A and B are shown apart, each in its own frame.
Chain A
Amino acid sequence: AQSVTQLDSQVPVFEEAPVELRCNYSSSVSVYLFWYVQYPNQGLQLLLKYLSGSTLVKGINGFEAEFNKSQTSFHLRKPSVHISDTAEYFCAVSERSGGGADGLTFGKGTHLIIQP
């Protein structure tokens, strides 16, 4: 079974500053990796995904993430944040084999707080 650890439960950042949200995963098999965002009172929206190929993945709203297999990490970054980026961010993993029998496994989430 896989697991996901998001190292920070809350990250405060000033507007227009860069941000990195950290995610580490554990799995005995190859995985697909995802980042989702949840705005207040809404469901989750896919930001980006890593399937294969280039380890640097670009997503919506200026976010990108880098897959590091040796460190089993998939950190999310944005060079300059806006107030509208205030939200909860979830890292998730799905095993390539077995058809995702356990569904997506999510981390506990990181609350990104943008300060003016």
Chain B
Amino acid sequence: KAGVTQTPRYLIKTRGQQVTLSCSPISGHRSVSWYQQTPGQGLQFLFEYFSETQRNKGNFPGRFSGRQFSNSRSEMNVSTLELGDSALYLCASSSIATGGANSPLHFGNGTRLTVT
């Protein structure tokens, strides 16, 4: 079974631009979660999608948005990029909605975004 695939692996953008990151979950997984990882803040929860609906959202500004398609693939968009958005963005999938006992997260290798 293929793992969680995130594209692209690396991305360099300029302040003010927008960016879209993609995540393909493990086949059969319907939940996709996104996390931002930075040296200062660690891993922070962005949002979770389950069956094309945003189920949960972390404490991030509205510039961060996402969506999930009918095949469970998910995209994350960041508009009006700021230098502080430079981070590793991790996507994780699970077979059921997170928070349940039997729904361990399977992570992709991440997209490293650098904003200059």
Contact = CB atoms under 8 A, between A and B. Distances in A.
Interface of A: 32, 34, 36, 41-46, 49, 51-52, 90, 94-96, 98-109
Contacts of B55: 99
A108 B99 contact: no
Given A43-B4, A51-B101, A94-B99, A104 B109 contact: no
B101 to A, nearest CB: 5
Interface residues of B, number: 26
A42 B7 CA distance: 13
Given A43-B90, A46-B104, A90-B43, A99 B110 contact: no
Interface of B: 4, 33, 35, 42-45, 48, 55-56, 58, 90, 92, 97-102, 104-110
A51 B92 CA distance: 20
Given A43-B107, A43-B110, A99 B43 contact: no
Given A94-B99, A96-B101, A103-B58, 9 more contacts: A43-B108, A43-B109, A43-B110, A46-B105, A46-B106, A100-B56, A100-B97, A104-B105, A108-B42
